[in-house]
Structure formats: C-alpha cells, structure tokens
Amino acid sequence: MKLGLIHLLVFLSGLTGLAQDRPLTLKLDTDVVTVDIVATDQKGDYVRDLRREELQLFEDGQIRSFDLFAVNSERTLSRPLAVVFALDLSGSLKPDETVTLRESALRFLELVRGESVFAALTFNHEVKVRQEFTRDANRLVKAFTRNVRFEGSTRIYDAIDRGVRMLEKSAPRIIGNRPVRRALIVISDGFDSASVIDRREMVRRAISAGVTVYSITLPSYILSATRRRDRVLTPLDATRVVSSTGGSDYPADNNDFSPVFSSLAEEIRSTYAIAYYPDSRDGRDHRLEVRTTRPGVVLRLSRSTYRSPGAEPAR
C-alpha cells in the first residue's frame, strides 16, 4: 500500500465520531462573496486578534463595507468546512507503511466536528470521484479502500479543477447562517504528466470560486551544495495555485508525517472571513483586495477576484 493512502486512511479513521448523513437545511444565497484571510506577523506567526475595524475591503480599487466578519477561535472551528481530499494514485509514489498519523489526525478532528462536509477523489491517468459530500467519515474510508490500484500517469491539474468544480457546484455555501469555508487538500508528489486542462484556467477557476488549495507534497528531495534536504520545485509550485488561493504547501517527511496535519490544523484555526453582497450584476470579474491598518501584519487571501451574478432577465 502506498504512503499517501496509509496516512489518509489513518487520518480519516479518527473522524468516525462525526455525525452521520442527514438532510442539509440551508439558507443559501449564491450572491454572497466570502474572502478567507490568514494574517501573519513579520516572523510568520499567526495573528489572531485582528478587529473588524482593522480590515479594509476594496473592490476594483474602491473601498467598500462588508456585511460579515468572522474569526475562528484558537481551539475550535466556528465556521463549517467543505473539504475535498484529492489523493494521488499514480505509479510514481513509493511505498512506506511506517508512519502513523493518528495523534495529528485527532488534533485535526477537533476542527472538523459538527456540520462540516467532506468529499474525496483520486487521480492517476484518470480522475475519479470516490465520495460525494458527506458528514459520514466511514464513507470516506471505504471510498479510499474500494478498488484502489496504484498505477499510471498523473493528472494533478485536472484533479484540482475537478475538486474546485465539486466545491463550486455541489458543496453548501451557507450552513446555519454561517458561510462555509471551501478547501481542497491535494496529497501528491506534485508532478503532472497527463492533464489536459489549461493550467491558467485551472488557477483562475479556483480563485474565482474562493477555494483554498492546500498541498501535502510527498517526499521529493535533493541534496543541495550545503547538504541540506531541500524539496525540489515541482510544477504544482510553478502554477502558484496554492499561493494564489491563500493556501500553503506542507512537505511530508518519510519519518514523521504528523507535523503536516498539525500545521494544517493550526492554519485553519487561525483564519478570518469577511463576506458581503456585491452591488454589481454585470456578470464580470472584479478585483478584490483586503488591507489592514495594523502595522507589520501580512494578509493572505483565498481569492483576489470574484465574478458577479449576471443581470436578471426582464419580465
């Protein structure tokens, strides 16, 4: 069995305490524009105490008000999540069954309890949806163990695009009057060999949909001249889909995978969100920017554009 699958199954096995599927009762408004924000200081540490009045929202260069401000507390997740896991099943991965992720998975579990929903897909020479959105972690475990074969080429860009479209079209936008944070977690070595989608279109669609892409990059290292272990720059890095959507890359080490999910949990715990109803109905892309008045704080946004709804047809 391959490295990524072992770790993901251990992670998902800790999620069995989640509620079983039940009908989603939602107040859905597709016009709402949500921007997720990660704030860090000059040392790279998370800033968790920003106030609403310290953030400024700009649309097409013009400052405007926003209707909602939400911040996650350090210990719990105050916003529901919609997460797609994308697992690389290509033949390029190396087997390793020595690492256990249970402790880090249990820490991550504290963030995803409640009304969050999850879906899963796998990719090699084809992209396959293994599980549509569900609250039942047992279904995710079964999805990754049913008819799994590690072989073939790698269509990572196509997989990211498929995951983004799932989040955009199938995931709830609002649960319990709270905006849902959309995230895509890609577990791969980062090398693409067979995708057909244009990379720029894939990045544009992810940004427009407000999906934060996180990558867990399986071992791909070289020894530099200083004999440090540095991860090779992958095509996934070159597309900037992770950085452009406000996500992060987490290099995995063969000997200790647990810091990966710990770091991911820490980041999700430290996010803010602002949301508003756009005035424009021209069906075009509009530029977004968020600034802070607090000196020394750097903001990372889940999106830099949004596409406004088109004008309603005359009756």
Where are the chain's structural domains?
3-25+79-269, 33-75+272-307
Burial class of residue 194 (count of CB atoms within 10 Å of its CB; 0-12, 13-18, 19+): middle
> What are the tokens at 312?
């309603």
> How far apart are alpha carbons 58 and 301 in whole angstroms?
13
Residue 300: beta bridge partners?
38
Which pLDDT score, from 0 to 100, does residue 21 have?
Answer: 45
Q: What is the DSSP letter of 296?
A: T
Q: What is the pLDDT of residue 62?
A: 95
Report the predicted TM-score, pTM, of the whole model to 2 decimal places. 0.78
Q: Name the token pair of 61.
A: 């260069």
The reported pLDDT for the residue numbered 148 is 60
| Class at the top of the CATH hierarchy for domain 3-25+79-269 | alpha beta
Query: What is the model's pLDDT at position 293?
Result: 97
Q: What pLDDT is attached to residue 7?
A: 46
In the prediction, which pLDDT does 146 show?
Answer: 66
Asked whether the beta carbons of 309 and 283 are under 8 A apart, the reply is yes
The one-letter amino acid at 80: P
SS (H, E, C) 133-201: EECCHHHHHHHHHCCCCCCCCCCHHHHHHHHHHHHHHCCCCEECCEECEEEEEEEECCCCCCCCCCHHH
User: Which residues does the chain have with pLDDT short of 70?
Assistant: 1-30, 72-79, 91-114, 137, 141, 144-152, 219-232, 234-235, 253-259, 261, 311-315
Under a CB-based contact definition with an 8 Å cutoff, are residues 80 and 178 in contact?
yes
CB atoms inside a 10 Å sphere around CB 275: 20
Q: What is the largest CA-CA distance in the chain?
A: 70
> What six digits make up the tokens of 303?
């999106």
Identify any residues that bridge with 36 across adjacent strands, giving them in sequence order: 273
Distance of CA 257 to the CA centre of its chain: 18
Q: Tokens for 297?
A: 């704080």
- Whole-angstrom distance, CA of residue 70 vs CA of residue 278: 18
pLDDT confidence of residue 147? 64
Side-chain-side CA neighbours of residue 240 (13 Å): 6
| β 249-251/229-231 pair status | unpaired
